[in-house]
A and B are shown apart, each in its own frame.
Chain A
């Protein structure tokens, strides 16, 4: 029977193999889209210029070659990083929740402004990270939001959004 650590390392390697192949596929897709996108660029009129399309095409071409090298290296078992350590499902869920909260906060700032959205955002993040005290958590959130607000709005004269609903 294989030890548990060997199995988790094998699992991480499998996950990274899949990730490398997906990343290579995405990069090839983006590169091909970029090359196709350059077809709409204006034609070169000057003989002394290479035009707006030349550089994006070169970069995309090199990216396609590099993606193929990544695929080849991955399939031959040579493209593994030390960083890929096995993580539980909860870890990924916490990151996904953090990203989702940030997205919601950004959308909320557009409508209800910086202050209200940031207080709720900071409370939600602290709760997600295990700080669930009913008194200190909201107090810290209000304090942090206020500190950043006064530093930027008054100290540096950078007005923060008030939200389209209150403008």
Chain B
């Protein structure tokens, strides 16, 4: 096949570019650190590095940026699993089961699962990028505002599956998130809503809210256990997942990676959305859905394969159509243009050599991520050996500084604190935090695209059922939302039937005994 030959030639060219390889190592390592720190995202890392790429040749610059991108998406999972601090929004989904595994003394296994799943998801997405880019680019073009709205609704319907024990409390948390997501500028008219005249609220401060709800709330909770204050958090344990477990997770990784690629291609949908949707789908296909949220390794694998699968998908539309899939690829689009490369179909014809060398470099980046990730886990795991009386203040300081670093704004840190207090009480009374974060991500996407679709269809609501992808996604959303309720009702009916049957049998026995 033509692509395989080109890829092999790409590897040959890459081998003769040691400086580019060195920058790839630097990029991946920097990305992992940036991703692990709360408040610092892959987008920020790529944006910080952009000026440094001006003086570099296109291959070195783009490889370094790709390294930061891939490392940044993966790095978020490390602190999410160890400390319940999601380094990136995508890692908020990983924290649900990852941190529960840490609580059970399986931190190493959770980190190992996350590292391997990230590697497999990311590598799969790069292969899709190499072999199917022109074919799949047309699929991405099918996605207009109405399909993006339906995707956001489908994403929101996941709330029902991450609600924990109480669906009502989960839905309340989700709708509170949706209401908070309306704070800021109206997506169509630019009118400020519920801002109280504060310009800081013009954009929904969802990362401060996320850091507060997850990390600060957990830190506040650890203050209350007098007996635990002097204890160390947990042991790291085994890192490499046993083959039996890994084999069981492979279908999950495959499905989540494919979902990640598909979601990555859709403009406006990023790794965070991919992680939540992959999690929900894995739970739906699982034979033991009740184990999710309680330290299920497949939950961790799904989120990480999904979010890293997104990377190749997001780059696919960026390279073939010039449409960035998410914020990171939007910055990368700038980097490409600065290097004098015009993304689009002609890029594959005019710069095929450079492109396939870059693809080879991306595969190397993922191998580097696997190696650096696994090598650093024991060191990262030392965090867990820290006494809680040092770890908790360290977490709170990181929460403050990480939130501040996002926009150099103290205002954001106060929002983080408020979210932390709210998160503490939510945890205390069984209100899950994940639906709030999910709603903050999906809410603005749903509203903006619904209103855009309505404008495009001249005010008619026909687009909800006349466009096949939109209708299909909305149907799937309805099924996802009502399935737990249906299961609950069926289970209740079966239980009452069994109870009635048992009562009847008991009455029969009593009457028989009486007759005797």
Contacts and interface: CB of A to CB of B under 8 A. Distances in A.
Residue among B230, B420, B430 facing the most chain A CB atoms (10 A cut-off): B430
Interface in B106-143: none
B494 interface: no
Contact of B191 (A42, A98, A151): A42
B34 to A, nearest CB: 7
A70 interface: yes
Contacts of B427: 83
Contact of B429 (A81, A95, A158): A81
Contacts of A161: 404, 410
Contacts of B394: 122, 144
Interface in B354-374: none
B218 to A, nearest CB: 12
Contacts of B189: 42, 49, 51-52
B401 interface: yes
B191 A52 contact: yes
A122 B393 contact: yes
A145 B393 CA distance: 10
B297 to A, nearest CB: 22
Given A102-B417, A140-B390, A159-B408, A52 B226 contact: no
B178 A59 contact: yes
B425 interface: yes
A121 to B, nearest CB: 7
A99 interface: yes
B179 interface: yes
Contacts of A55: 178, 182, 447
A41 interface: yes
A57 B424 CA distance: 27
B387 A106 contact: no
B417 A103 contact: yes
B62 interface: no
Interface string B166-179: 10110110011011
Size class of the B contact interface (CB-based, 8 Å): 35 or more
A102 B454 contact: no
B429 A23 contact: yes
Interface in A78-112: 79-84, 87-88, 90-92, 94-95, 97-99, 102-103, 105-106, 109-110
A95 B431 CA distance: 19
B269 to A, nearest CB: 19
Nearest to A97: B223
A133 B341 CA distance: 60
B421 A99 contact: yes
B463 to A, nearest CB: 12
B40 A156 contact: yes
Given A66-B172, A84-B428, 16 more contacts: A23-B431, A34-B179, A42-B189, A49-B188, A55-B447, A79-B430, A91-B226, A94-B226, A98-B219, A109-B400, A114-B401, A121-B393, A125-B392, A129-B223, A129-B393, A131-B390
Please list the 4 inter-chain residue pairs (A to B) with the smallest Cβ-Cβ separation, ordered nearest first: A81-B430, A129-B389, A91-B224, A52-B186
